[in-house]
Amino acid sequence: MDVMLKFKNEFFEERKDLLSKNHVYRNHITKFIKYLSLPDVQLSNAPARININVIEECIRYYHNEGELNSRSTMESHLESVKSFYDYLSETGKATDIFSNYNYSKFKDEIVEKYSLLEPVERGSYKCEDIKTILIELDKAIDNFQDGSTGVREEERHLQRIILRLFIKLTLIAPAKRSVITSIKKSDFTEEYKKLSINGIDVNIPCGLSRDLCAALKYAESKNKGSIKEGDNLFEYLYKYKGKFRVESLNAWFYNIAQDFGVMKDMCKDKKSLAVEPIKNMVIQMMVDNMINPVFISKIAGLTLTMIEATYYPKDWSVKCEEDINKCINKSIAQNDYYCYV
Sheet of 200-203, strands arranged across? 188-189, 194-197, 200-203
> Mean pLDDT of all residues in the chain?
88
Q: For residue 122, what pLDDT is reported?
A: 56
- pLDDT level of residue 186 (50, 70, 90 thresholds): very high
Give the residue-averaged pLDDT of 45-60. 94
Q: Which one has a higher pLDDT value, 75 or 40?
A: 40
Paired with 188 in beta bridges are: 195
pLDDT, tens only, 6-31: 999 999 999 988 888 777 899 999 99
pLDDT, tens only, 223-267: 999 999 999 999 999 999 988 988 899 999 999 999 999 998 888
Determine if residue 198 is left, alpha or beta; phi over 0 gives left, psi from -120 to 50 gives alpha, anything else beta.
Answer: left
Give the residue-averaged pLDDT of 109-133. 79
For residue 224, give the amino acid letter. K
Q: For residue 327, what pLDDT is reported?
A: 78
CA-CA distance, 206 to 134, in Å (whole number)? 15
Three-state DSSP state, 91:
coil
Q: Where are the beta strands (DSSP E) in the chain?
A: 188-189, 194-197, 200-203
Q: Are 208 and 172 in contact (CB under 8 A)?
A: yes
- CA diameter of the chain: 64
CA-CA distance, 24 to 36, in Å (whole number)? 19
State pTM to two decimals: 0.68
Task: Report whether pLDDT(104) > 80.
Answer: no
Q: For residue 169, what pLDDT is reported?
A: 98
Three-state DSSP state, 188:
strand
Q: CA distances (Å), 13 to each of 3, 34, 37, in order?
A: 15, 18, 21
- Least confidently predicted of 7-16, 113-122, 199-208, 217-226: 113-122
CA-CA distance, 140 to 32, in Å (whole number)? 42
Q: Are 52 and 106 in contact (CB under 8 A)?
A: yes
CA-CA distance, 58 to 63, in Å (whole number)? 8
